[in-house]
């Protein structure tokens, strides 16, 4: 069950990875074509420039307008064991037929009801694909056997799923709305728990199971924007961003985003500085690049795993403390009405696009600066105190602190990947291999055959055993190892 949850969680990462590019287009295009911005900066009032900005805005909007389809395809690709392209095609066919079935039934029985938009068919398409991709039919129908059978059976199944969702989805949808309403009524306290629990789940890579529910479903709110009913915090934010008539602060759905910026841009980089200063003076030169790279990654992109995995495994209490501070950051952003959205994470890129460029009147982005300065001080002094007081073995403080980090090159990648395979117990012990941003995620038949120390010697920050599998933290190299291992083992067909 845990393995399946991990697969579902990482499957969301494929479509979500598209969002920064789409957000960049919508953020720049929407901000610079907004009538208020144009009137403030008259040099932008050039027909050619405005045409470009409007095209950029429309290009970004179309991605966010079809998130359910993208999530559907992402689920199918992520959950399919092999021949993922066929699974993706089946998911698209199933999604379109399911949506058509639901729309038709709504038109007949409930013309006034809002449309039902869900990508759940993606997981069903993956299930049918894994079950029937090698099916053999009678000779007369032989052409339609094998992988060709998958889109066909998915298409017919989607009709029944559409009819089923027409019946069961409205109560479930109402339950989500009620849950979101309950969290909303909790006010800033609910926002704190959202930030705190999501960060805690990040320790085992299950945070991808939490935030999509708030970003893309009724849990994140329901609002009418430009005459259309929009559900999900991120969908609402980008609908408002694309609406030139929107005035005032952005929706309160930004409460699920705004708390990230103080932690990711200020807090965790300051924690890096504290860990650097906790390294003995003689060793600092060896680890300066490591801490600087991780700090810049968090500040610019909002990717925090390279920092968090420096202390998560050596002292989980420190991670819980960090999760608590992150929850408090969400709490503060909520009570101060900071209304900055984001596409992927809380780095300076999203801060600039969806905070600064949108104007302080819409986002209250200026408040992030003093809060960030306070957060940097809290993280720095608390981390420095805890690390030195309890002798926490962050990088540079252990017995092997003299060693430099090994650099992977194209020529050495295959050799390192082979070493990783051996450390995982060999080909016969590996069931499935994948990677998120920083973790090599491997489902194995027996975790007892995994040599964690060998994985660390190859460069893993640490190795986490979860639900019958392992997660080796390799930073940006995780995806390189994943692709190389699949090529070596022939896992992709």
pLDDT band for position 303 (50/70/90)?
Answer: confident
* Cα distances (angstroms) measured from residue 423 to each of 333, 415, 429, 455, 491: 44, 12, 10, 6, 17
DSSP 163-200: HHHHHHHHHHHHHHHHHHHHHHHTTHHHHHHHHHHHHH
Cα 4 to Cα 29: distance, rounded to the nearest angstrom: 39
Report whether 69 contacts 92 (CB < 8 A): yes
DSSP β-bridge partners for residue 228? 225
Fold designation for 410-489:
Gyrase A; domain 2 (3.30.1360)
Task: State pTM to two decimals.
Answer: 0.60
With both helix axes pointing from N to C terminus, report the angle between 233-241 and 47-65 in degrees, rounded to the nearest 10: 160
**Residue 42 tokens, joined:** 């008259």
Residue of 72, 201, 272, 436 with catalytic role: 436
Q: Which of 211, 118, 234 is nearest to 165 (CA)?
A: 118
Most confident range (mean pLDDT) of 25-39, 89-103, 222-236, 476-490 is: 89-103
The distance of Cα 3 from the centroid of its chain, to the nearest Å, equals 18
Report whether 327 contacts 199 (CB < 8 A): yes
For the chain, domain boundaries: 2-177, 253-389, 410-489
Instruction: Show Cβ contacts of residue 396 under 8 Å, excluding neighbours closer than 6 positions.
Output: 275, 276, 278, 279, 280, 283, 284, 286, 287
Q: Mean pLDDT lowest for which of 3-7, 359-363, 473-477?
A: 3-7
Q: Which of 80, 70, 168, 83 is nearest to 125 (CA)?
A: 80
With both helix axes pointing from N to C terminus, report the angle between 47-65 and 19-33 in degrees, rounded to the nearest 10: 140
Most confident range (mean pLDDT) of 35-39, 206-210, 357-361, 403-407 is: 357-361
The model's pLDDT over 92-126, given as tens digits with 9 standing for 90+, comes to 999 999 989 988 988 888 776 666 666 678 888 88
Q: Which of 96, 68, 231, 112 is nearest to 159 (CA)?
A: 96
Cα 493 to Cα 405: distance, rounded to the nearest angstrom: 34
**Residue 33 tokens, joined:** 């074509």
Cα 111 to Cα 489: distance, rounded to the nearest angstrom: 53
Q: Which residue has the higher pLDDT, 88 or 303?
A: 88
Q: Is 436 a catalytic residue?
A: yes
The model's pLDDT over 307-327, given as tens digits with 9 standing for 90+, comes to 887 787 678 899 999 999 999
């Amino acid at each position: 069950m845990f393995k399946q949850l991990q697969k579902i969680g990482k499957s969301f990462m494929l479509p979500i990875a598209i969002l920064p590019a789409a957000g960049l287009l919508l953020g720049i295009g929407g901000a610079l074509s907004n009538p208020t911005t144009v009137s403030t900066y008259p040099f932008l009032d050039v027909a050619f420039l405005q045409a470009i900005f409007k095209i950029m805005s429309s290009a970004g909007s179309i991605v966010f307008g079809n998130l359910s389809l993208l999530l559907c395809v992402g689920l199918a690709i992520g959950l399919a064991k092999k021949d993922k392209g066929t699974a993706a095609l089946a998911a698209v066919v199933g999604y379109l037929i399911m949506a058509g079935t639901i729309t038709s039934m709504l038109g007949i029985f409930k013309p006034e009801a809002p449309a039902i938009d869900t990508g759940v068919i993606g997981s069903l398409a993956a299930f049918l694909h894994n079950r029937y991709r090698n099916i053999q039919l009678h000779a007369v129908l032989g052409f339609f056997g094998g992988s060709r059978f998958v889109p066909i059976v998915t298409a017919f199944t989607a009709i029944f799923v559409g009819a089923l969702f027409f019946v069961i989805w409205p109560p479930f949808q109402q339950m989500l709305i009620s849950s979101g309403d309950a969290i909303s009524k909790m006010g800033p306290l609910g926002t704190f728990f959202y930030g705190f629990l999501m960060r805690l789940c990040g320790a085992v890579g299950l945070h991808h199971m939490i935030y999509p529910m708030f970003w893309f479903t009724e849990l994140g709110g329901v609002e009418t924007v430009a005459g259309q009913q929009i559900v999900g915090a991120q969908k609402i934010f980008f609908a408002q961003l694309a609406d030139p008539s929107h005035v005032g602060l952005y929706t309160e759905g930004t409460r699920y985003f705004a708390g990230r910026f103080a932690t990711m841009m200020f807090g965790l980089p300051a924690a890096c500085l504290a860990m650097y200063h906790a390294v003995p003076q003689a060793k600092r030169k060896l680890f300066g690049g490591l801490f600087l790279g991780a700090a810049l990654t968090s500040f610019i992109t909002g990717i925090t795993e390279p920092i968090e995995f420096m202390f998560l495994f050596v002292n989980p209490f420190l991670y819980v403390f960090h999760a608590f501070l992150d929850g408090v950051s969400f709490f503060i952003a909520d009570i101060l009405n900071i209304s900055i959205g984001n596409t992927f994470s809380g780095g300076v890129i999203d801060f600039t696009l969806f905070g600064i460029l949108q104007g302080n009147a819409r986002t209250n982005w200026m408040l992030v600066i003093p809060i960030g300065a306070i957060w940097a001080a809290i993280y720095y002094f608390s981390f420095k105190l805890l690390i030195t007081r309890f002798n926490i073995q962050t990088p540079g403080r252990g017995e092997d602190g003299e060693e430099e980090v090994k650099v992977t090159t194209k020529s050495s990648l295959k050799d390192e990947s082979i070493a990783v395979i051996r450390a995982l117990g060999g080909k016969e012990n590996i069931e499935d291999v994948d990677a998120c941003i920083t973790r090599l995620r491997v489902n194995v038949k027996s975790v007892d055959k995994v040599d964690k120390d060998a994985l660390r010697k190859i460069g893993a920050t640490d190795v986490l055993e979860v639900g019958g599998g392992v997660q080796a933290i390799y930073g940006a190299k995780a995806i390189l190892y994943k692709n190389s291992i699949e090529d070596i083992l022939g896992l992709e067909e």
